[in-house]
Amino acid sequence: MPKYDVCLSFAGEDRDYVEEVARHLTELGISRFYDTDEQSALWGEELTEYLDKIYREDSRFCVMFVSADYVRKHWTIHERRSALARGLTDPHQPYVLPARFDDTPVPGVRPSLGFIDLRNRTPRELAVLIAEKAGTPVEANPAGWELQLFSDTASMHLRKLKDKRLSHEMAFAPDVRTLTTDTEAHDYYLMRTGVFDKIVNGVADLLSPGKQQWAFGPAGRAGDRDRIKHLATQFAKSYENLLDWAADLRGTTTPERYAPLYAATAQLADQPLGQIEEFLAQLAAATEHNAGTLELALSYDVRPVEAELEKVQTT
């Protein structure tokens, strides 16, 4: 009898997603091989032999998390070859379960092999599919599933923005334009502050009672999965819009006296970004106890911007 229900084969670049899948599999009672949980077992082993046994013999299924990084990495090539070799000894039973982050072709995996697209599928949703494949019944709509789905979907999209978030923290942005006159700099500044107001107000609109009822349904009725995921995706898009808005200001070269104003204005995004992150973290924790509400009021301190604007207007 196999030691594991499933082994997880993935590139390190995709670990954030896969780690959540592994956690949810444990919650569902599915035994899985996930490398960081096996550090003591792996310590001192001849890994080529040990991992070959895991990926070729010791699991009922192998979930292959396909991406460009997965195809090119040394250790994932080794894992993939072991998993595919299993098919030669047991050709009539499905073993390799491809789950795709992108459309990268995988050597040895036929294009006709059925796969799961992960680009808009949360780790929890994939874990449920794996559990069903393993023959473990899963409750279809547990209490609080609507908020859980919103939280999972929005958080999944935010994780994809990690590099943009780090660039924002560094106050780094590539050059995007050069404004040579004070008039150009002032007009563009006014236009971009209007865009900021639109983004912030858009977040409030997304979480308005009307939008929530559209997605989650009226009291006493189940929500609509597609609408909830769309609402969460747009919520995460607002977060990305804030990052892009700040990067646009930082990437704009202006006359010297306008530079401090542009830098201070770009920092207006700091508080809303942090508030969105904290909101999702609290929502994720609350949904584990079938609780939580979609209430978020974004705020920001305009005083540093007003001080820099006054300097520009008086010089």
What number of residues does the chain have? 315
CB 138 within 8 A of CB 210: no
Count of C-beta atoms within a 10 Å radius of residue 14: 19
Fold held by 145-313: A middle domain of Talin 1 (1.20.1420)
User: For residue 10, how many other CB atoms are within 10 A of its CB?
Assistant: 26
The predicted model scores a pTM of: 0.87
pLDDT at 75: 86
SS3 label, residue 199 = helix
Distance from C-alpha of 303 to C-alpha of 301, rounded to nearest angstrom: 6
Cβ atoms of 48 and 74 closer than 8 Å: no
Tokens of 225: 């999965």
Distance from C-alpha of 63 to C-alpha of 99, rounded to nearest angstrom: 7
Give the tens place of pLDDT for each residue, 216-225: 988 778 889 9
Answer whether 6's CB lies under 8 Å from 134's CB.
Answer: yes
Please tell me the distance from the alpha carbon of residue 177 to that of residue 256, in angstroms, as a whole number. 14
Domain ranges for the chain, please list them.
Answer: 4-133, 145-313
pLDDT at 198: 97
* Residue 21 backbone phi and psi in degrees, to 5: -60, -45
pLDDT at residue 225 in the model: 93
3 state SS of 66: strand
Q: How high is the mean pLDDT in each 10-residue block of the chain (315 residues)? A: 90 93 94 78 66 88 95 89 84 87 90 89 95 86 86 95 96 96 96 96 95 89 92 98 98 96 97 97 86 87 95 85
**59-66 and 252-253: which strand pairing?**
unpaired
DSSP string, 248-277: HHHTEE--GGGHHHHHHHHGGGHHHHHHHH
The Cα 223–Cα 225 span in angstroms is 6
CA distance 172 to 174: 7
The pLDDT score that the predictor gives to residue 223 is 87
- Domain 4-133 indexed as CATH 3.40.50.10470: no
Owner of token pair 């091989």: 33
What residue has token string 């494949």? 133
Cα–Cα distance list, 155 to 136, 244, 280 (Å):
26, 18, 7
- Predicted pLDDT of residue 46: 63
Tell me the C-alpha distance between 96 and 64, whole Å.
Answer: 7
Which pairs with CB-CB distance under 8 Å and at least 24 residues apart come from 128-135? 128/24, 128/28, 130/5, 130/6, 130/21, 130/25, 130/30, 130/61, 130/63, 130/97, 131/25, 131/28, 131/29, 131/30, 133/61, 133/97, 134/5, 134/6, 134/30, 134/60, 134/61
Distance, CA of 151 to CA of 125 (rounded, Å)? 12
